[in-house]
Amino acid sequence: MLGSLNMDLVVRVHALPKPGDTVLGDRLLRVPGGKGANQAAAAARLGAQVRMVGRVGADAFGEDLLSGLAADGVDVSGVTRDNEEPSGAALIVVDASGQNQIAVAPGANGRVGEAEVERLRDGLGPGDIVVLQLEVPLAAVFETAAAARQVGARVMLNAAPSTPLAGGPVPEVDLLVVNEGEAVELAGLPVSGLAAAERAAARIGGWADSVAVTLGAAGAVLWNQGVATRIDPRHVEAVHATAAGDAFVGAVAFGLAAGWSMRRAVEVGVAAGAAAVTRLGAWSSLPRLADLRRLFGIEVPGSA
């Protein structure tokens, strides 16, 4: 896993503020996050062996991020402590329906580069799954994807945020994961919706062996071997949607590393994303196998 580590500062409000508005919320929550860290923790909680590579600042946020990952069983020896930039931080406002607004200060994440790519390359081999996102410099993403494929490792790219790739080249990956809006942006479509997501998946399918488009409460679309398949949603009462996509990515990575089919991995990813929205916070909402069993009756071969 090469990606971002942020401290999430979360406030829950009745309704999201409009431009120029001030709204009152409840107490401020400080929750470890960042797409890279979230996805690493998500995969580890399901039982995957995960090594995290990235950067944090030499500050209290950095300490908390590393200790949080380590507590979930993630190997953090590949995370650099940056003495010049602070740890990344995200300001998150969540309304009563679980929708959110997020502003991110990248901090040390913006300095991820060749040193981190080389650190991830060490020990990487066939059968490994490398998971990437776009909250670190694009050059590091391209270099990591190329290095992984050279040694026979499979590459998952969560193209979030998708703007850095819009209208430009895309790294060669085995699985591209995007949400509905990201799929439409990358495909250059003027509309959204389920049908548009299927068209977008097919259009950007030339960039990857497979494409998974997450649709929130509507499930997902998997484009694989030239065929688009709808993956049914899991219905839950939403509390906080921030980490749903990261829970999905972590679960899919876990499933592929365990040798599951792409469809089975995406089905469990949808369940993991649904489980995540039932709790407040990003990291705290990432499910374990026991949560998937309790909520949906999902049994994972080889799990306790």
Do residues 153 and 128 lie in contact, with contact meaning Cβ atoms separated by under 8 Å? yes
Amino acid present at 273: G
Alpha carbon distance 127, 144 (integer Å): 16
- 160: its two tokens: 């979030």
What is the CA 21 to chain-centroid distance, rounded? 30
32-60 burial: b if 16+ Cβ within 10 Å, else e: bbbbbbbbbbbbbbbbbebbbbbbbbebe
What is the CA 293 to chain-centroid distance, rounded? 22
Choose, from 8, 72, 174, 246, the residue flagged as catalytic. Answer: 246
Alpha carbon distance 187, 248 (integer Å): 21
- 112: its two tokens: 């991820």
Give yes or no: 209 in active site: no
- 57: its two tokens: 């600042």
Alpha carbon distance 24, 245 (integer Å): 27
Question: Which of the residues are catalytic?
Answer: 246
